[in-house]
Amino acid sequence: PGYRRHCLLAGERGAGPVAATEGRERSGEPRLHHGAVVSTRHRCPPARSAVPPSPAAMAPMGIRLSPLGMAVFCLLGLGVLYHLYSGFLAGRFAFFMLSEPAAGGPETPRGSAPAGSVDLRELLAVSVLAAVRGGEEVKRVREGNVLNAKAKGKTREGAEEQLTSGDLLSNRRMFYLLKGAFPAVQINSEEHVDKADQEAVSWDRSIPEDIKQKIQPKEVPAESVTVWIDPLDATQEYTEDLRQYVTTMVCVAVNGKPVIGVIHKPFSAYTAWAMVDGGSNVKARSSYNEKTPRIIVSRSHAGKVEQVARQTFGNKTVIIPAGGAGYKVLALLDVAEKNQEEADVYIHVTYIKKWDICAGNAVLRALGGHMTTLTGEEISYTGSDGNEGGLIASINMNHKALIEKLPDLEKTSHK
């Protein structure tokens, strides 16, 4: 106790006597303190200073940090902290902007697909809306009798193709609605899109309840998606005021396979939609006649199919001439429409554009049906916009057997 008290007293008086004996401590010699010999084995602990040691004093033995070096080191450290903190703030700001709707603006759902991907459920919802919005233009033009019809060319069979204001206005509305909602997705349309006619058509990102109940979110890479739109199917019939045949259609293909189909009838406000491995708001009929099927075909070449069909299935086979590929696909389904005819098989024997058939193909696939070329090959919705091999479509029937019964139709498709 006396020794500890002595040390404390020495610390209070200063470190002078202790410092004076440092040389003796290093040599192992005893040191004198107030005339007494003090063994270095009982060295007093150094007095604690109220001033913290400098960074240079804390440096490892043999290394001394200059003031300039310390300044550079501190600046680098501050720079790293600044970048980390600014990145954190930017992330929080972006999250806030995505999570909270702008004043007066639509709310963005937190479940939206990340950049570079597309939620097929959302794409289905906006496809339905696009078909309906396009249909509004089609109906308005027809009822206002302001078609402004003109020839835009001829088909391979020599028939004149018509172009109306309904085609153009519907196309503009549908294209820019889809493009605004999904700018990274490729969109193929029957009509040319003029940037001068661009209009801002927004989607509030809401999903109808019937789609929410039947379809789960499903994300796919945006680059794998191709959208095919037909802003006015059955234009010829449209000019003739045969309104029951007219449809607007949207199809979504993933890696060339049709997975979403929307067929909308503007003049009756009926909309059929379906998603492969998802759900639909339409279904197949309860029965179909395979022995003597009712075959629905294009009005322009009904005679070509009729001869072969009756040779194959007998004279009782019924041929139904109709306009529009969308209308013909609906004829195979359970559609409660007053002016909708019913058929068992849909056959087309000439060249046809993919935007005419993609939506119907997707709907049939979703319901377990088939649409193939006349030789049974699946139709790919990538590459060119035309299908050379004709088509045959059926549901709840032996599709392969149908193809085998109609081998001669494949030759007709290339004429």
22 labelled ligand-binding: no
Count the domains in the chain: 2
pLDDT at 233: 98
Domain range spanning residue 21?
A: 2-51
H/E run at residue 98:
helix 67-99
Spatial distance between the Cα atoms of 367 and 370, rounded to a whole number of angstroms = 9
Q: Is 197 annotated as a binding residue?
A: no
Instruction: State the CATH number of the domain containing residue 209.
Output: 3.30.540.10
Residues 30 and 161 in one domain: no
Between CA 329 and CA 337 the distance in angstroms is: 13
Task: Tell me if 247 sits within 8 A of 229, measured CB to CB.
Answer: no
Q: Which of 33, 51, 69 is the last residue of a domain?
A: 51
- 48 vs 8, 14, 44, 147, 196, CA distance in Å? 11, 11, 12, 98, 82
36 in a structural domain: yes
Together in a domain, 275 and 404: yes
Q: What angle do CA 137, 229, 319 make, to 5 degrees?
A: 90
Q: Among the three residues 51, 75, 90, which one is the final residue of a domain in this structure?
A: 51
Q: Clarify whether residues 175 and 317 are in a common domain.
A: yes
- Looking at the fold, whether 146 and 241 belong to one and the same domain comes out as yes
Both tokens of 110, joined, read 């937190």
Taking CA atoms, 95 is separated from 63, 90, 108, in Å, by 47, 9, 11
Are 408 and 272 members of one domain?
yes
Handedness of CA 342, 344, 347, 353 (dihedral sign): positive
pLDDT for the residue numbered 414: 54
**Residue 68 counted as domain residue:** no
Is residue 231 in a domain?
yes
58 located within any domain: no
Please indicate, yes or no, whether residues 45 and 160 belong to a single structural domain of this protein. no
Same domain, 9 and 136: no
What pLDDT, on a 0 to 100 scale, did the predictor assign at position 268? 97
pLDDT tens for the 415 residues of the chain, in order: 444 444 444 444 444 444 444 444 444 444 444 444 444 444 445 545 444 555 444 454 555 657 777 777 777 777 666 655 555 444 444 333 333 333 343 333 434 566 799 999 999 999 999 999 999 999 999 999 999 999 887 666 667 788 999 999 999 999 999 999 999 999 999 887 776 666 667 788 999 999 999 999 999 999 999 999 999 999 999 999 999 999 999 999 999 999 999 999 999 999 999 999 999 999 999 999 999 999 999 998 787 788 888 888 888 899 999 999 999 999 999 998 888 999 999 999 999 999 999 999 999 999 999 999 999 999 999 989 999 999 999 999 999 999 998 866 655 555 5
Does residue 265 sit within a domain?
yes
Annotated ligand binding at 190? The verdict is: yes
Q: Mind giving me the DSSP string for 387-409? A: E-S-EEEESSS-HHHHHHH-TTH
pTM given for the model: 0.72
DSSP secondary structure letters along 34-73:
TTEEE-GGGPPPPPPPSSPPPHHHHSPTT----HHHHHHH
Enumerate helices (H) and strands (E) in the chain, giving the number of each: 14, 19
136 appears as a binding residue in the annotation: no
210 marked among binding-site residues:
no
Q: Which residues are catalytic, by number?
A: 167, 235
Tell me 41's DSSP state.
Answer: G
